Amino acid sequence: MRQIFLAGLAFLAACLISPDRAQAQDAAIQPILQEHQALIVKSSRKTIGPAIDAVASSGLPQAQTVLEVWAAKNMWQRKEDGLFFIGEKIDSKTYALTDFDSGETVGEFPKKELKQLKPNSGIRALIGTALVQFQLSDPDIEARKAALLSIERDPEASLLAPLRASIDGEPDAALKAQKQRLERLLTIGYDTDETARLSAIADMSGDLGVDVRATLNPLLTTTREVAAGAVPEGANVAQILHPGQDSFDKITAYDLLADKGIAPARVTSDDIRLALGEHIEGGSVGGVPVATLHTQAARLKAYTVLAAEGEVPTYVDEAAIDSALKVNVFFDAYAEPSKSVTDAAAKALKDIELKVGLNQTLDLTLDALSLASIYFLAAIGLAITFGVMGVINMAHGEFIMMGAYTGYVVQQFIPDHTVSIIVAIPTAFAVTFAAGVAMERLVIRWLQARPLETLLATFGISIALQQLAKNIFGTQARPLTAPGWLDGAWVMNDVVSISYIRIAIFILALIFLGIFLYIMKRTRLGLETRAVTQNPRMAASMGINPDKVNMLTFGLGSGIAGIAGVAIGLFAKVTSELGSDYIVQSFMTVVVGGVGNIWGTLAGAAMIGFLQKGIEWMNPSNTLAAQTYMIIFIIIFIQFRPRGIIALKGRAAGE
Amino acid sequence: MTFLKSTLAGSLVFASLAGAVMADEDTIKVGVLHSLSGTMAISETTLKDTMLMLIDQQNAKGGLLGKQLEAVVVDPASDWPLFAEKARELLTVHEVDVIFGNWTSVSRKSVLPVIEELNGLLFYPVQYEGEESSKNVFYTGAAPNQQAIPATDYFLDELGVEKFALLGTDYVYPRTTNNILESYLKGKGIADDDIFVNYTPFGHSDWSKIVADVVALGADGKKVGVISTINGDANIGFYKELAAAGISADDIPVVAFSVGEEELAGLDTSNLVGHLAAWNYFQSADADVNAEFVETWKATMGEERVTNDPMEAHYIGFNMWLNAATEAGSTDVDAVRSKMYGQEFPNLTGGTAVMLPNHHLAKPVLIGEIQEDGQFDIISQTSEVPGDAWTDFLPESAVLMSDWKELDCGMYNTETKTCVQTLSNY
Amino acid sequence: MQRSFIAKNPSVLVFLAILALFTLLVTVMSEGFGVGGISTSFIKTLGKTLCLCLIALAMDVIWGYTGILSLGHFAFFGLGGYMIGMWLMYERTRLIVVDSLAQAEIPPTDGEVIDAVGNQIFGVVGSSEFPLIWAFADSLVIQLILVVFVPGILALVFGWLAFRSRVTGVYLSILTQAMTLALALYLFQNDSGLRGNNGLSGLQNLPGVTASQDYVSLWFFWASAAALGGGYVLCAWLVSGKFGSVLRAIRDNEARVRFLGYSVEMYKLVIFTLTACIAAVAGALYYPQAGIINPAEIAPIASIYLAVWVAIGGRGRLYGAIIGAAFVSLLSTWFTGGQAPDINLGFYTVKWVDWWLVLLGLSFVLVTLFAPKGIGGLIDLYTERRSPSRHGADLGPDDGALREQEASQ
C-alpha cells in the first residue's frame, strides 16, 4: 500500500514538472536523444541543459535509466547511424549494445565503430539534479542517497517542493533526518515566505555544518554601490563607506566612480607617456623639448599644455578627485532585499563563527598533536642513540628510509594490506636492528672517543645508503598503501577531523613511549644501558659488558627508526630522500627537548609540532615560512636553554 | 691542430676531462642533459631513457644525413650551476649539435646564458611558466595558455567552480602560473577573496592543515576547485591526505599540472578517481601512433613503465629536429633553426604539432580524470592551441611578443615597436 | 729569538710556488691566452675548484685548528655569492633596459628605468618591485663591501649567541646546520626578495664586458688563484703565531684555556667570523663562474660535503684541506660527468654515475676509521722519516692533540 502511495507521489511530482508528458507517452526516448544528438556529443555543461531537460521531462519510464546510464559513462553512440545505446564491455575491443526503449541487446560491436560518451563532472552534476525527481522516492536507498547528495551539491529552488513532498514517506530514519535538514537549508535559500525563512534560520543557527554556512553566506553577499547625494530608498545597506578611511582609499573610490561613468577616468603616468608620444611635433611636445621629458614634472607640464589645447583628456588632480568623492555616497548593499532576513542570517553566522573558531582551534591542536607524534616517532630512535649513548647517527634518517622500503618490499610479496603491515613492522625492525648492530660494530665502536668523527663517518654511511636505495629501487616514489580500515578520517564535525592513519601513528608513538620506558626502567638491558651511560668504567667493573650493551642499545634505536619508517611511508611517500627530510627535525627534537631524557624528546616534539602549526595558522599562504621561523626560534631557544627543555641534573648530566 | 691540442692536454693530469676533444667524426652528436641523480632524477631519468630509445630507433632507420647519431649523456645531478657547466662541456668539449634536456625552470635559466653565448640548440620538453623566449631554445612543453588557462576555463565553464584554491610548491613555475591565473580569474570576475593561494616547500608531507583550509573555503556556498602546481613527490602526501579527508572530485575537484602517469605510479589511486590533470598528452590517448609508442617504450623499459607528457614533447621535438636537419642538409644550428619554423609532425594524440616562430608548439590541450588503474580518462580534448611565450593576462607581458622568424626578436614590445632584448631574460 | 714566518711554515712557499706554476700552466693551455689545450668549461671548473679550496681552508682553520665543526660555512659562501650576484644582475639588466628604453620616443624617467629593471628581474617570479635589500644593488663598491660585511655580521651574531651560551661540540654542529637550513629555507621563499628558488642567474655575463667567456673565465681563474694564495698566507699566519696556539689549545681542552685566563669565547668568535668572511670571498668569486646561485647551494648537505673534503684531505694542516677539496670535487666531476668507464661485472654493469656516491660515502667512512690524517698524512710519511717518533700515537690529527696515553688514563 505504502509503495503504491510512494509511486503515486513520484508520479505526481513528475507530472508537476513535465506538463507535456501526455503527448510523449508510449513514445520512444531515442528520438528525443537524436533531436539533441549534437548537444549530447558536444558534452559541455554550458550547452547540455536542453538535452537533459528534454530527457528528464519526457515523462518516459526509460528517462531515469537513460540518465543513470549516461552519468555512469555507459552510454555509447554507434558511429554509423548516431543512435545511442547502453554499452557493456565484452572484452577490451568489443562492446555489447542494448537499446534504451526495447531493453533488448542489439548485438556486439567492435569498439572502433562506437563512441563512448564521457560526461564530465559538471554534466554529471546536472544529470544528478535532473535525476533527483525520480530518485527521491525510489525504493532503492542508494538512489535516494544519491538524490540527496545531488541536492546538497547543487541546491535549487525547484527541488524544494519535491523534497518536502518526499519527507513524510521516507522510511529510513537517518535519511529522513537528512532530508529534513536539507529542507531547512533550501527553505532558507529559496522559500518565498519570509517567516518560514526566518524560522529556518533560527532552526539552523548554531549548526557547525559547512552547508549551513554555505546557505547563510550567500544571503549576505554585497555589492559596492555609488549613489549621488544619499543612499537610495529600498536598498538593503550593509555598511556605508567613507573614502580615505579604513581600507577604502580615495583612489579606489574614484576608480569606482570612473567605472560607473560618473566621473572621468584618472590619467595614469602611462597614459601621459603614450599621449605625449603621440603628440610630438618637431622635437617638442606642448612647447617642452622631448629630451627634457625624463622627469615626471616636465611630462606633466607638457601634458597640461596639451590638455589646455583640448588634444588630450584633462589631468585629474587631487582636488578634482576630492570634489568628485564629496558629492557621492559609497555603500555596500545586500543582494537580498529583506532586511530582517539579512539581519537574522548575520546574527546566526556570528554565533556559528565563534563555534567554528573554537573548533578550528581544536582541529589545529589535533594537527599539531599528529605532527608532534610524527616527529616524536622519527626522533625516538635518535633519542636512544644520541641521547643515551651520545652517539650522533647521521644515518638515522636512512634507517627510517630502510624501514619504509622494507614495508614496500613486504607489500610486494603479501598483497593483503593488513597482513602485510603486520608483517612489515617486525621485519622493518629486524632489518634496521641488524643494520644498526652492524654499523655499531664496524664503525661506531672504533670512534667512541671522537663524537665529531662519528658524526662524519655516519654521514658517509648516510650518503652511501641513500644512493644504494636509489640504485636498487630507482628514483621513483614507491607506493606503500595503508590497509583499507585506515582509509578515511575520524570526523567529529565539519570542522574537526583527522585521518585514521594519523591517529594510528599517534597511537604507535604512544606505544613506543611505553616500550621505551618499560625497557629502560624495568628490564636488565635498560638498567645496564643506564649504567653504561653514566659511567662505563664502573659499569664494566660491575660485570656489565659495555660493548654488548652499546651494540644492543644502538640496534634498538635503529630498529625503532625502521618501524617509524613504515609509519611515515604510510602517510607520506617512500623515496630514497624520505630520511633526509626528517633528520634535521629529528635532531632538533632531541636537542630542544634535552638530551638523554625521553620526556624531553616528547616535550621537544610537542613544542616543534605545535609551534609549526601555530606559525602556519598565522600565515596560511606560506608553509615554507613556518619552517623557517620555527628553526630560527629553535636557535634562539637553545641560547636560553642550551640543555633543552628538560635538562638532566646532577650526575646523570655528565659532561 | 686538434691533435696537437689533445696531445698537450693529455700531458695534464686531467687529460681525461679535457681530452675528449678527439671526436668521432662519423657521428652526429646529440647531447642529453637530464639529471640522473639528486632530487630531479625521479622525473628526468625517464626522459634520458626516452632520448636513448628515440636515438636507437632513428639509428636503426639509418641515422641522419647518412651518419649515425650518438647520444652524449651527462649528469647535472639536480645541481643548477652544474647544468650550466655541463651545457658548456657538451657544446665545447663534446661539440654536440643539439641538446635535449632540462626539467626545472631554474635549470633552464642556468643553461640559457651558456647556450646563447655559444649558439647552441636546446629542446626543452616540460610545461613551464612562459615569460621567456630564447633564440636557442625550442619549447616543446606547454606554455601557460596551453595548459593552465584551458584547465581554468574548464573549471569555470564545465565544473562551475566559483572559488579557487591555488596550491603550489614554492618555486618559479607555480609562482608565475598562479600569478597569471590570478590575473586571468580576476578578469573573469572572480573576486580577490575567492582566490586562496598557498605555497609549500619541495617534498612537503604534512598536508592536513592545508586540506582542512581548502574544505573550509566551501563555507560561503561557492563551489571550490583546487588548481595544483604541486611538484614531484609532495603530491603523494597531498593526494593521500585528500583521499583520507574523503574529498570527492564532485565536491572539490583538483586539477594538477605537474601530476602525470609517472607520479601516480607512486600511490594508490582508488580514492582519487575523478580528480583531474591537464596535459598535452596522456598515455591513454586513443591513437595508433600512440599505441605503437607505448608498446616500444614498455618493450624497452619494462611492462610496468608508463609514458607521459614530457616524453611526447621529446618525441615531437626530436623528430622535428631530424626533419629540419634533413631539410637543411646539415646540423648547423642556424640552418636547422630556420627550417624549424612551420615544421609539422604528427603528435601522439592524433593531431599535428606545428612549430611556431616564437619557438613554441601548437598542441591540443587534454584534460583527464584519474582512474583506478593510475591512468587518465580523457574527457576533454581541444584542437591545437598555439603556445604563447608572453602571456596576455599580465599587463607587462601582454604588450610583448616573440617572433624569431620575421622580427628576429624574442621580446618585442608591440606598443613601442622596439625589440627589448635579443638575449633572453634570465 | 723568533724564527721567521716562512721558516716556521715551509709549506707556504711550496704551496705558493705550486699554485703559481699551476696558474701559469693553465693560462698557457687556455683557449683565451694560450694554445687551447684546456677547454673553457674546464677552466671554469678549475677556477671554481680553487674557490672551493679557499672555503676548505677556512673550514680547516675553524675545524681542524679550533675544533669547531661548523656545518654552516656554506651559508656564508652562498651569501657572499648573493651579494655580488645582486650587483651583477642589477647592472646587466639595467644596461639592457636603458638600451631598450632609449629607443622609445619619450626619454624614460629614472623611476621608469628602475621599474623596468625590477620587472625584468622579478617578472619571472611574479612580482615587479624591488625589495628593500636591493637598495644598494646599483653600487658595485657597496655590494663588494657587503660581500664581506653581511656574512660577517651573520657569523658575528650567530657566533656571539652560540659561544656566549657555551654551546659546544656536536650541539654546535647541529646548531650551525640549523642556521644554514633556516637561511636556505628563507631564501627559498619568493618573499625573501632574492628570487626564491630561481636565485640569481646569468652571473657569468659581466655587465659592460664584451670579451668572450674564454677570457672572462681566465680572469676569474686568476682572481680565484690570487684569493687562494692570499687566503693561504693569511691562514698560515693566523695559525702559526700565538693566536694559533690558543686556537689549538681551545681545540684540545677548552676548559683549561679558559682557566688560564684566556677569553675563549672571544677567540672563537673572532675566528668564526673571520673564516665566515673568507668563505664569503670564496663564494663571491665562485658564483660568477658558476653562473647561477640559488638557495639549494646553501642546503645543509653542501656544508657537510665541505667537512668531508677537509677530512679526506687531512685536518689540521692547511694544505690538507686544499688537497681534499681539489681531489674530491674534481674526482666527483669526473665520475658524474660520465667520463669514467663503466665496469662490466658480467651479471651487472657498474655505472659510476650511480655508484660514485656509494663509493664516496664508504671511502669517507674508511678514511675516518683508518686514516684520520687523510691524504695529507701521506706527506708525513716523508717528513716523519726525519723526525724521531714520540711516545704514544696521536688521537687527533695534529701535534698537541690528545694522545693515546692521555686518553686511556
Domain-wise residue ranges, chain C? 5-312
Per-residue pLDDT for C407 more than 60?
no
d(CA B413, CA B316): 30
pLDDT digits (tens, 9 = 90+) for B243-256: 888 888 888 999 99
pLDDT digits (tens, 9 = 90+) for B299-356: 988 888 889 999 999 999 999 999 999 999 999 999 999 999 999 999 998 889 999 9
CATH fold match for the domains B27-143+289-362 and B144-285+366-386: yes
Residue B80 contacts A, CB cutoff 8 Å: no
Mean pLDDT of chain B: 85
Residue of B nearest to C355 (CA): B37
Residue of A nearest to B238 (CA): A572
CB A226 within 8 A of CB A257: yes
Q: What local confidence, expressed as pLDDT, does residue B296 receive?
A: 92
User: How is the beta sheet containing B409-413 ordered, strand by strand?
Assistant: B400-403, B409-413, B418-419
Mean pLDDT of chain A: 83
The shortest CB-CB distance from A631 to any of C105, C182, C360 is to: C182
Residues 153-172 of C with CB under 8 A from A: 158, 161-162, 164-167, 169-171
B208–A577 CB contact, under 8 Å: no
Q: Which residues of A touch C254 (CB under 8 A)?
A: none
Residue type, B295: E
Q: What local confidence, expressed as pLDDT, does residue C294 receive?
A: 87
pLDDT digits (tens, 9 = 90+) for C124-155: 666 677 888 888 888 899 999 999 999 999 99
Per-residue pLDDT for B140 more than 90?
yes
* pTM score of the predicted model: 0.85
A296–C111 CB contact, under 8 Å: yes
A370–B205 CB contact, under 8 Å: no
Residue A464 contacts C, CB cutoff 8 Å: yes
A635–C175 CB contact, under 8 Å: yes
Per-residue pLDDT for A651 more than 60?
no
B110–C293 CB contact, under 8 Å: no
Residue A467 contacts C, CB cutoff 8 Å: yes
Domain-wise residue ranges, chain A? 2-154, 173-219, 222-334, 357-653
Q: Which residues of C touch B20 (CB under 8 A)?
A: 339
Q: What local confidence, expressed as pLDDT, does residue B152 receive?
A: 92
Total number of residues shown for chain A: 655
CA angle C97-C103-C107, nearest 5°? 80
C357–A464 CB contact, under 8 Å: yes
Q: What local confidence, expressed as pLDDT, does residue C394 receive?
A: 58
Q: Are strands B418-419 and B68-74 parallel, antiparallel or unpaired?
A: unpaired
**More confident: A357 or A9:** A357
Q: CA end-to-end span of chain C, whole Å? A: 36
B205–A573 CB contact, under 8 Å: yes
Question: How deeply is A37 buried, as exposed, middle or buried, from its count of CB atoms within 10 A (0-12, 13-18, 19+)?
Answer: middle
Q: Count other C-beta atoms under 10 Å from residue B288's C-beta.
A: 9
B196–A621 CB contact, under 8 Å: yes
CB A385 within 8 A of CB A454: no
Q: Where are the alpha helices (DSSP H) in B61-217?
A: 80-88, 105-117, 144-153, 172-187, 208-216
Per-residue pLDDT for A261 more than 60?
yes
Say whether A595 sits in a helix, a strand or coil: coil
Buried b (16+ CB within 10 A) or exposed e, B28-58: bbbbbbbbbbbbbbbbbbbbbbbbebbbeeb
C148: Cβ contacts below 8 Å, ≥ 6 apart:
C80, C277, C280, C281
Going by pLDDT thresholds of 50, 70 and 90, the confidence category of residue A410 is very high
Q: Where are the alpha helices (DSSP H) in C189-252?
A: 213-240, 242-252
Neighbours of chain B (3+ CB pairs under 8 A): A, C
Going by pLDDT thresholds of 50, 70 and 90, the confidence category of residue C406 is low
What are the C-alpha distances in Å from C253 to residues A455, A474, C247, C401?
Answer: 20, 47, 10, 9
pLDDT digits (tens, 9 = 90+) for C49-60: 999 999 999 999
DSSP lists the bridge partners of residue A241 as A330
DSSP lists the bridge partners of residue C13 as none
d(CA B136, CA B157): 38
C205–B113 CB contact, under 8 Å: yes
Q: What local confidence, expressed as pLDDT, does residue A26 receive?
A: 57
Q: Out of A289-303, A414-428, B91-105, which region has the weakest mean confidence (pLDDT)?
A: A289-303
C123–B396 CB contact, under 8 Å: yes
Q: Between 1.10.12, 1.10.3470, 3.30.460, 1.10.10, what CATH number should domain A357-653 receive?
A: 1.10.3470
Mean pLDDT of chain C: 85
The shortest CB-CB distance from C170 to any of A294, A455, A457 is to: A455
Best of A456, A584, A592 to disrupt the C interface (most C CBs within 10 Å) is A456
**Shortest Cα distance, chain B CAs vs residue A239, angstroms:** 18
Q: Are strands A94-98 and A84-91 parallel, antiparallel or unpaired?
A: antiparallel
d(CA A205, CA A305): 63
Q: Which residues of C touch B12 (CB under 8 A)?
A: 25, 29, 37-38
Q: Which helix (H) or strand (E) holds B340?
A: helix B333-340
**Shortest Cα distance, chain A CAs vs residue B4, angstroms:** 40
Q: Which helix (H) or strand (E) holds A513?
A: helix A500-522
CB A653 within 8 A of CB A647: yes
Q: Is 3.40.50.2300 the CATH classification of the domain at B144-285+366-386?
A: yes
Residue C361 contacts A, CB cutoff 8 Å: yes
**Shortest Cα distance, chain B CAs vs residue C200, angstroms:** 8
CB B64 within 8 A of CB B28: yes
Residue type, A346: A
Domain-wise residue ranges, chain B? 27-143+289-362, 144-285+366-386
pLDDT digits (tens, 9 = 90+) for C250-303: 988 888 999 999 999 999 999 999 999 999 999 999 999 998 998 888 888 888
CB C149 within 8 A of CB C89: no
Q: What local confidence, expressed as pLDDT, does residue A25 receive?
A: 46
Task: Tell me the average pLDDT across A54-66.
Answer: 83
Going by pLDDT thresholds of 50, 70 and 90, the confidence category of residue C385 is low
d(CA C384, CA A381): 44
Q: What local confidence, expressed as pLDDT, does residue A635 receive?
A: 81
Q: Which residues of B touch C104 (CB under 8 A)?
A: 416, 418
**More confident: C346 or B195:** B195
d(CA B143, CA B126): 9
pLDDT digits (tens, 9 = 90+) for B64-82: 888 899 998 888 888 888 8
Going by pLDDT thresholds of 50, 70 and 90, the confidence category of residue C73 is very high
DSSP state of C315: T
Per-residue pLDDT for B91 more than 80?
yes
Q: What local confidence, expressed as pLDDT, does residue B122 receive?
A: 95
Q: What local confidence, expressed as pLDDT, does residue C118 receive?
A: 86
**More confident: A288 or C45:** C45
**More confident: B421 or C409:** B421
**Shortest Cα distance, chain B CAs vs residue C315, angstroms:** 25
Q: What local confidence, expressed as pLDDT, does residue C338 receive?
A: 64
Instruction: Tell me which residue has cell 630561481.
Output: C198
Q: What local confidence, expressed as pLDDT, does residue C402 receive?
A: 58
**Residues of chain A above pLDDT 90, percent:** 9
Q: Which residues of C touch B75 (CB under 8 A)?
A: 336-338, 353
C337–B89 CB contact, under 8 Å: yes
Q: Which helix (H) or strand (E) holds A85?
A: strand A84-91
Most confident of A492-506, B120-134, B389-403: B120-134
A572–B205 CB contact, under 8 Å: yes
pLDDT digits (tens, 9 = 90+) for A278-321: 888 777 887 788 888 888 888 888 888 888 888 888 888 888 88
What are the C-alpha distances in Å from B43 to residues A351, B307, B318?
Answer: 50, 11, 19
**More confident: C190 or C17:** C17
CB A208 within 8 A of CB A496: no
Q: What local confidence, expressed as pLDDT, does residue A29 receive?
A: 84
pLDDT digits (tens, 9 = 90+) for A190-208: 888 888 888 888 888 878 8
Per-residue pLDDT for B5 more than 70?
no
Going by pLDDT thresholds of 50, 70 and 90, the confidence category of residue C331 is confident
Q: What local confidence, expressed as pLDDT, does residue A653 receive?
A: 44
Region of residue A73 (phi > 0: left; psi between -120 and 50: alpha; otherwise: beta)? left
Q: What local confidence, expressed as pLDDT, does residue A23 receive?
A: 44
Task: Tell me the average pLDDT across A423-445.
Answer: 92
Q: What local confidence, expressed as pLDDT, does residue B55 receive?
A: 94
Nearest Cα neighbor of B327 from B313, B314, B315, B341 is: B341
Q: What local confidence, expressed as pLDDT, does residue A626 receive?
A: 78
Nearest Cα neighbor of B241 from B151, B188, B167, B306 is: B167
Instruction: Tell me which residue has cell 612551420.
Output: B342
The shortest CB-CB distance from C197 to any of B21, B112, B171 is to: B171
Main-chain phi, psi angles of B308, to 5 degrees = -150, 180
- Domain at B27-143+289-362, CATH homologous superfamily: Response regulator (3.40.50.2300)
Q: Which residues of A touch B196 (CB under 8 A)?
A: 621
